[in-house]
Structure 1
Amino acid sequence: MLDADHLRLMEGGALIVGLTLEDGAPYATRGWGLRVEDPDPDRECLAVVHLLLPADDATGIEGVAPGRAVAVTAADVMTLVSAQFKGRSLGTAPATEDDLALSERYFAGFSEAVTRSDGQPRELLARLVPHELVRCTVEVHEAYDQTPGPGAGQELDR
């Protein structure tokens, strides 16, 4: 299991999702919220996460078909502390009311941090928010420090 700081980063950091399409082409999209499931001691993984993605991104949805590799980079906007979590998709489902509330909280924190760091008005950032979301469940098997500096790329302590 990952430590509390990395779990907080996963749930609150800016989220970039890296995928590989069926033809091998790389693809990236933005995540719009993430929730870490309570750990199951019988599961042989670091974590199970529910990642919110734009529902109208057909290429991204193709990239998270069950069994496909998923890499999520989560970064703190203010400090640039970041980590990458890699695993396999367990598939997608329609976003629930709880997922939508999570995404609203996520965007509020993300936009506040971007406004503080870069001065971008929240209204401009709101144009990025997708109208509909899907939930992708990912079983996380690897985690790496991606904070800029000499430790970038090192596997995180578990």
Structure 2
Amino acid sequence: MNPRKDRPELGAIIQRDRERYGVAPHTPAGLVTPDVLRKIADVAERYQAGQIKLTSAQRIALLGIKEQDIESVWRDLDITPGAPLGLCVRSVKVCPGTDWCKRGQQDSVGVGLEVDRRYHGMELPWKCKMGVSGCANDCAEVCLKDFGLIGTPKGWH
């Protein structure tokens, strides 16, 4: 028997049953439009995903995908895969910041999107997770990340 493994080249992670895979499109700052959300739901339904999971990295993971459907799922989604595997910057978690939160002190969405644009997927000698919070409430859980910024009234810490 040939045990199935993660398929990083396809942006797919083998699941507990060793038969099906999870895929998670790259959703910078955890933001998607209603049209993208509908597309994700339609693709999940078309390929009989067992579940859709909102991840702690602000991604939307489609779980229970058959190996033979992985490439078709990505083609139909037409969204870049997230970086869930390997030694790289895996995610940049971002809070709502001054765009949406009454407590926001700094533009965490704008800064977070720029950090994501520059560093998401960058190869490193270790796996790395980043976060950008717009205030000391730290809704992006910067204190749990490898690198992060927290907004204050006077700038970033």
TM range (shorter): under 0.3
TM-score (norm 1): 0.25
Between Structure 1 and Structure 2, whose CA radius of gyration is higher?
Answer: 2
If each structure's helix is expressed as a fraction of its own residues, which one has the higher value? Answer: 2
Bigger relative contact order (CA 8 A; separation at least 6): 1
If each structure's strand is expressed as a fraction of its own residues, which one has the higher value? Answer: 1
